[in-house]
């Protein structure tokens, strides 16, 4: 059986702030993304997850990192993908908004993101 894969999108505003979504499973801010479903390619999952979590429609992207996910979810919840594909979303349509109650979206600086994300260890190796 192959490893689970996750697609994550980094959306950067002109002022350098990064689009983040509250991740209830891990109890902190993360980038929009999620598990690649059966029959999907990794880029297809990126586009779907970005739309489902923020309402944005990705037009173009480039993969910037791929690596193992080692963050543990909060107690009582199940983890997801073990290999994470990180993309910079270079063009998109729409304005981001909360799509799931309890999972708001916001724009954070790189420093704020790294301070408030449970995925800090993973993203310290990624050029944000």
CA distances from 36 to 62, 92, 103, 116, 121 (A): 17, 20, 20, 25, 22
Query: pLDDT 10s per residue in the chain (128 long)?
Result: 356 899 999 999 999 999 999 999 889 999 999 999 999 999 999 999 999 999 999 999 999 999 987 666 555 445 555 799 999 999 999 999 999 999 999 999 999 999 999 999 989 878 88
Give the pTM: 0.88
What total number of domains does the chain contain? 1
67 part of a folded domain: yes
54 part of a folded domain: yes
* 98-126 per-residue burial string, b: 16 or more CB within 10 A, e: under 16: ebeeebebbbbeeeebbeebbbeebbeeb
How far apart CA 26 and CA 74 sit, in angstroms, is: 5
Look up the domain containing 41 and give its range: 5-123
128 part of a folded domain: no
Query: Residue 49: which CATH number?
Result: 3.90.79.10
24 part of a folded domain: yes
9 part of a folded domain: yes
């Amino acid at each position: 059986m192959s490893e689970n894969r996750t697609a994550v999108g980094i959306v950067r505003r002109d002022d350098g702030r990064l689009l983040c979504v509250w991740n209830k499973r891990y109890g902190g801010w993360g980038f929009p993304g999620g598990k690649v479903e059966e029959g999907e390619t990794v880029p297809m999952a990126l586009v779907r997850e970005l739309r489902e979590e923020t309402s944005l429609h990705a037009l173009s992207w480039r993969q910037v990192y791929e690596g193992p996910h080692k963050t543990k979810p909060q107690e009582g919840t199940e983890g997801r993908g073990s290999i994470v594909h990180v993309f910079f979303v270079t063009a998109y349509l729409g304005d981001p908004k909360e799509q799931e109650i309890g999972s708001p979206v916001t724009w954070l600086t790189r420093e704020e993101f790294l301070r408030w994300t449970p995925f800090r260890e993973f993203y310290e190796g990624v050029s944000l």
